[in-house]
């Protein structure tokens, strides 16, 4: 028999707000980092350490336990779960807290004006009247949080790309818009023969260099600064070009410009890789891709495009698409591969 229709799915959606803010608060307090490596805390100890009363402290800790982000033992001590230990402890290779912080501090406030974004067809996470784009070097929120967030969002997904596309025949890779170098670090660690170049704005390259040096890969990951909108702006001479979560930030016109620049930079036999959260060609989902696309309403002038749209553009620019290899990542659900004849 068919189950009776209830509003429970709608309630679950609204509970997502509360769940996210619990995660955001705990990340801001660096609670999971405090408990790293088998550490623990009591309710009283947590409250005292952070200067808050026990009532709000208990409410937050109970919420985190219910979400499987903390474990509560019978003796009243709280510990990280495997999930929080792996992805929410600062300094770990696949730390996801940077993305949580960006959504909390940069995107979440803009959702208050989402109806204005809908009616005005404009973003609200940055000053469109006085900034050229979201990626301005003097925007303090973006400079402080955005590039760490991109690394957090990409670190795990880069591993998925490394597993689902064979880089054995590729010796040199240009990572266009690769600020944060998450893909470069992961791919170089997986493929010892590979050398990559991060191509991004000058200030982004400067912010990324310390991360590459910390990873011990400064001899294999280099940097080239420039503007992919300028004619000939994308440097050539690479076996492959990677566009990871870049094109959804831009309008159709600008996304096509970037693709054209990359196609022109490739030599015969070169490979173009696009990792994105592709919306299905029939525009029915999947939900993560569709919701991230909706998020572009408050963030940029872009959206999550379909593989069919990308493929048509690439064919127009002289590339031969080979289809999407799906995988499960954050901010990307597959890689679309195209080659230059």
Name the least confident of 91-105, 130-144, 163-177, 326-340: 130-144
Q: In the structure, what pLDDT confidence band is assigned to residue 148 with cuts at 50, 70 and 90? A: confident
Q: Quick check: 147 pLDDT over 80?
A: no
Percent above pLDDT 90 for the chain: 83
- pLDDT computed for residue 1 by the predictor: 74
Average pLDDT (16-23) is: 97
Domain boundaries, the chain: 8-87, 97-339
Q: Quick check: 146 pLDDT over 90?
A: no
Q: Quick check: 316 pLDDT over 90?
A: yes
Q: In the structure, what pLDDT confidence band is assigned to residue 137 with cuts at 50, 70 and 90? A: low
Q: Quick check: 138 pLDDT over 70?
A: no
CATH fold for the domain made of 97-339: Rossmann fold (3.40.50)
pTM above 0.85, yes or no: yes
Average pLDDT (100-124) is: 93
Q: Quick check: 45 pLDDT over 90?
A: yes
Percent above pLDDT 70 for the chain: 97
97-339 shares the fold of 8-87: no
Q: Quick check: 213 pLDDT over 80?
A: yes
Name the least confident of 128-142, 296-310, 319-333: 128-142
Please give the structure tokens belonging to residue 197: 């170049």
Average pLDDT taken over every residue of the chain: 94
**Active site amino acids:** 248
CATH fold for the domain made of 8-87: Arc Repressor Mutant, subunit A (1.10.10)
């Amino acid at each position: 028999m068919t189950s009776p229709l209830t509003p429970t799915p709608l309630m679950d959606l609204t509970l997502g707000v509360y769940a996210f803010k619990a995660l955001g608060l705990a990340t801001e307090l660096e609670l999971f980092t405090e408990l790293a490596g088998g550490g623990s805390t009591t309710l009283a100890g947590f409250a005292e350490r952070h200067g808050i009363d026990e009532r709000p402290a208990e409410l937050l800790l109970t919420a985190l336990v219910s979400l499987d982000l903390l474990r509560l033992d019978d003796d009243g001590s709280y510990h990280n779960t495997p999930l929080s230990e792996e992805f929410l402890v600062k300094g770990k290779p696949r730390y996801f807290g940077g993305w949580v912080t960006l959504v909390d501090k940069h995107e979440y406030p803009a959702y208050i004006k989402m109806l204005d974004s809908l009616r005005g067809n404009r973003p609200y996470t940055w000053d469109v009247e006085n900034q050229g784009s979201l990626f301005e070097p003097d925007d303090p929120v973006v400079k402080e949080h955005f590039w760490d967030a991109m690394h957090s969002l990409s670190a795990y997904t880069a591993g998925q790309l490394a597993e689902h596309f064979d880089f054995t025949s590729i010796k040199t890779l240009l990572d266009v818009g690769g600020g944060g170098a998450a893909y470069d670090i992961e791919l170089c660690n997986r493929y010892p023969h590979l050398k990559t170049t991060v191509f991004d704005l000058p200030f982004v390259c400067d912010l990324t260099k310390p991360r590459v040096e910390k990873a011990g890969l400064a001899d294999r990951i280099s940097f080239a600064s420039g503007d992919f909108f300028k004619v000939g702006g994308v440097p050539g001479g690479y076996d492959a070009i990677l566009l990871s979560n870049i094109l959804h930030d831009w309008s159709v016109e600008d996304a096509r410009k970037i693709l054209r620049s990359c196609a022109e930079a490739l030599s015969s036999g070169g490979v173009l890789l696009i990792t994105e959260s592709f919306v299905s060609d029939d525009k029915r989902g999947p939900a993560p891709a569709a919701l991230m696309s909706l998020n572009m309403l408050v963030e940029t002038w872009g959206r999550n495009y379909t593989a069919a749209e990308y493929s048509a553009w690439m064919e127009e620019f002289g590339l031969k698409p080979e289809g999407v290899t799906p995988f499960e990542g954050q901010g990307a659900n597959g890689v679309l591969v195209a080659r230059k004849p």
